Structure 1
């Protein structure tokens, strides 16, 4: 599976992803969200529900499709520790505003349990750098998420 993803991302062949009903950028986004959710050592139902909702909304997926995508992303993350391929797919396919939206989605996952772990904050800085999203833009996205979730800064 990892080799298939690598060939999709680096060789530009999207026919396998399309025939499997998966968009490689959706899988990349799901994998990055799973990484953000699991980095603090727990992946609870609240974080899982947040990812499913975000995937469904962003990629217009049914509940069943979002669950299948999440399961596939979890398997991908379990097999690798490399974020670059996932963030590259997002950077290459999303325009700047969509990348900021992705950062906002990640902040929602990070804040799903109501707090930010140091590892999660570090991951967000690394991902923002890889997505070419400025610190100020990430900070603004974080504030919007905190406001939406009713969390104080």
Structure 2
């Protein structure tokens, strides 16, 4: 985050137009959110990395090499970001069901190691608020993940 602030001040001093934003990339935004939740507690367990990879491929229908490339870009983008808003603002056009699926995937990454850190929950809560996901759906997504055995990922929540 300090790098982001330094970069912002440098851009201001150099007179760059800060109104210009890079093109929206919803897939990258989703990958960044999964990366953010995994790193929220300042340690990324192997189970969380595997869950990120699996869920991103599943959500976006990507093959393993595409998923790896996207997660590599997400890692750098996440390091350069100042807030979750940079990612969530690109996802507001998604349907309510798809925004729910993003929140559910974030819960799955957070719970991949068997425990949900309060910092991980805070990232998911803030993301849900920024995506206008109802609190009821926020809790429903959490329960759909935490009520399963530790290493079992839900297949779909569309039937509920």
**TM-score category, normalised to shorter length:** 0.7 to 0.9
2:37 match: 36
* Cα distance in 1 between the residues matched to 2:64 and 2:149: 22
1:47 match: 48
Deviation at 1:82, TM superposition (A): 1.7
Cα RMSD (Å): 1.8
2:127 match: 127
SS at match of 1:29: helix
SS at match of 1:148: coil
**Runs ≥4 residues deviating over 6 A:** none
Deviation at 1:150, TM superposition (A): 4.1
- Residue 6 in structure 1 maps to residue 21 in structure 2: yes
Deviation at 1:134, TM superposition (A): 1.1
Structure with the largest fraction of helix: 1
The runs of 5 or more residues in structure 1 that have no matched partner are 10-23
Larger CA Rg, structure 1 vs 2: 2
Aligned residue pairs total: 133
- Residue 117 in structure 1 maps to residue 132 in structure 2: no
TM-score by length of 2: 0.78
* Cα distance in 2 between the residues matched to 1:146 and 1:100: 16
Residues 16-27 of structure 1: matches in 2 within 5 Å?
24-27=25-28
Check 1:45–1:150 CA distance in 2 against 1; reply closer, same or farther (3 A cut): closer
2:83 match: 82
The runs of 5 or more residues in structure 2 that have no matched partner are 1-17, 152-160
Deviation at 1:129, TM superposition (A): 0.5
TM-score by length of 1: 0.81
2:14 match: none
* Cα distance in 2 between the residues matched to 1:110 and 1:81: 21
1:137 match: 137
